[in-house]
Amino acid sequence: MQAESRQLRDDSGTSKPIGHKSRLMDFASAGPGTPGGEFLRRFWQPVYASRDLPIGTAKPIHIMGERFTLYRGEAGSPYIVGYRCAHRCTQMSTGWVRGEEIQCFYHGWKYNGTGACTERPAENPPGPHKDISIGGHPAREYHGLIYGYFGPGDPPAFPPYPFSDGGIIENLVTEFPCNWFQTYENFADEVHLAFVHSGGGSHDDLKRTLELPKLSAQETDYGMSRITSISGGPERAAHLIFPNTMRIFLPPQRAPNGKEIGGWRDSYLTLVPTDDENHILFSTRQVHVPANQLDDYWATRERIRQFVKSAPSIREVAEAVLAGKKTLTDYKDHPRFVFIEDAIAQLGQGAIADRSQERLGASDVCIAILRRLFTRELTAIMENKPVKAWSYDGRPPQRGF
């Protein structure tokens, strides 16, 4: 990364060098050269659903405040290169995939998967030019998602987190209209379930919505373990895998008749900023469904998929409710009701929460620990010191209510 791009925004929006320590820790930052952005870029990040990138196609993507071109070569491999052609700077995703390369729509300049220029048809000579590149980033695929690495040096080990063998793997990609760290704090905050999700929808069948849990959290090799319990129930743990993933067991899928289909779903939820005010939730779930329930399971999933295609977006719903034009009860049948509940609470804080105005209490212990760990890591980045070598061994979290 170029030294001149290493800038930090202070509270007023003024850019300062990374070495400057801001009065308020900049949890929201995601762009290049910011502390949060540099932290996120040191890890593999999901960028797209595999099913939405057919062979021979290219798509524009917006990740962590930057734009790139994602394409799939004719042999099936994904590639991430720069957003614009080096010639006249038109958008590369409008061009053509040629073998494992991509050709510009405007004047036919061609680039390989590393972003190096391999052909300039109207120039003399028309072949490759060693000094021209649009840049490229490592891309890999795992369980239905395409990942990219946007940081310095060699990427860390892949995949970023493991699944056990067998079962059905599902992916859900959902856009959220607020800063990503607000949703990550929401992951650390189990108290909100008793209120946000108590309105007759997503969590009504769970005992925990009726009782405020006991809370604790601790630093781990992978990030933070959030531990909660209610009276008469076992401890429940969720793994917050740094910097932006949570692993948790979610309750079984339910058919329209209320019958549970399959078992608990082993789920990884990763939050990837598009910019400071928006992010994408990539949810990857593994479920083991008995053979005699498969027909019901796939029928339920297909019904939800068709409903989502015609339903209003989470952004549209959250903005309508927050503007007073609609109420939450107007959307009880929305297939993403649980996300709508969360989005209303989180966007209700503002697109970027002003944490200087908060009054935290004892119930915010998990959030306080999460912020303390991020403050330590982002401070190290601002001071050009090493961050912790986070690692996850794949141990499953505890489940139960």
- Chain segment 383-401, per-residue pLDDT in tens: 999 999 999 988 888 765 4
Q: What is the pLDDT of residue 18?
A: 39
CATH at 320: 3.90.380
Q: How far apart are CA 347 and CA 278, in angstroms?
A: 10
Q: How far apart are CA 284 and CA 171, in angstroms?
A: 5
β-bridge partners, 170: 285
Comparing C-alpha atoms, which of 389, 380, 401 is closest to residue 35?
Answer: 380
Q: How far apart are CA 335 and CA 307, in angstroms?
A: 7
Q: How far apart are CA 53 and CA 61, in angstroms?
A: 12
Looking at the structure of the chain, the number of domains it has is 2
> What is the 3-class SS of 379-391, one letter each residue?
HHHHCCCCCCCCC
Q: 160 lies in a domain?
A: no
Q: How far apart are CA 247 and CA 326, in angstroms?
A: 33
Comparing C-alpha atoms, which of 109, 119, 115 is closest to residue 83?
Answer: 115
Q: How far apart are CA 40 and CA 270, in angstroms?
A: 11
CATH at 108: 2.102.10.10
Low-confidence ranges of the chain (pLDDT < 50): 1-24, 201-202, 204-208, 401
61 three-state secondary structure = strand
218 three-state secondary structure = strand
Q: What is the pLDDT of residue 325?
A: 97
Helix and strand tally (H, E) in the chain?
7, 22
Q: How far apart are CA 316 and CA 313, in angstroms?
A: 5
Distance, C-alpha 243 to centroid of its chain:
10
Residue 258 amino acid letter: G
208 three-state secondary structure = helix
Is the domain of 116 the same as that of 180? no
pTM of this prediction?
0.89
Residue 112: HSE in the Cβ half-sphere, 13 Å Cα cutoff: 9
Q: 22 lies in a domain?
A: no
Q: What is the pLDDT of residue 200?
A: 54
Is the domain of 56 the same as that of 114? yes
Is the domain of 177 the same as that of 102? no
Q: 3 lies in a domain?
A: no
Q: 390 lies in a domain?
A: no
Q: What is the pLDDT of residue 399?
A: 61
Say how many Å lie between the first and final Cα of the chain, rounded. Answer: 46
Helices (DSSP H) in 197-336: which residue ranges?
Answer: 294-310, 314-322
Residue 76 backbone class (left: φ over 0; alpha: ψ -120 to 50; beta: rest): left
Q: What is the pLDDT of residue 165?
A: 79
β-bridge partners, 8: 16
Is the domain of 142 the same as that of 172? no
Q: 395 lies in a domain?
A: no
Is the domain of 175 the same as that of 267? yes
Is the domain of 293 the same as that of 341? yes
Q: What is the pLDDT of residue 282?
A: 97
Yes or no: say if 139 and 78 are a contact pair by the CB < 8 Å rule: yes
Yes or no: say if 222 and 242 are a contact pair by the CB < 8 Å rule: yes
Q: What is the pLDDT of residue 343?
A: 95
Distance, C-alpha 47 to centroid of its chain:
8
Cis peptide before 159 (omega within 30 of 0): yes
Residue 67: domain span: 49-146
Residue with tokens 């040191």: 42
Q: 28 lies in a domain?
A: no
Q: What is the pLDDT of residue 296?
A: 87
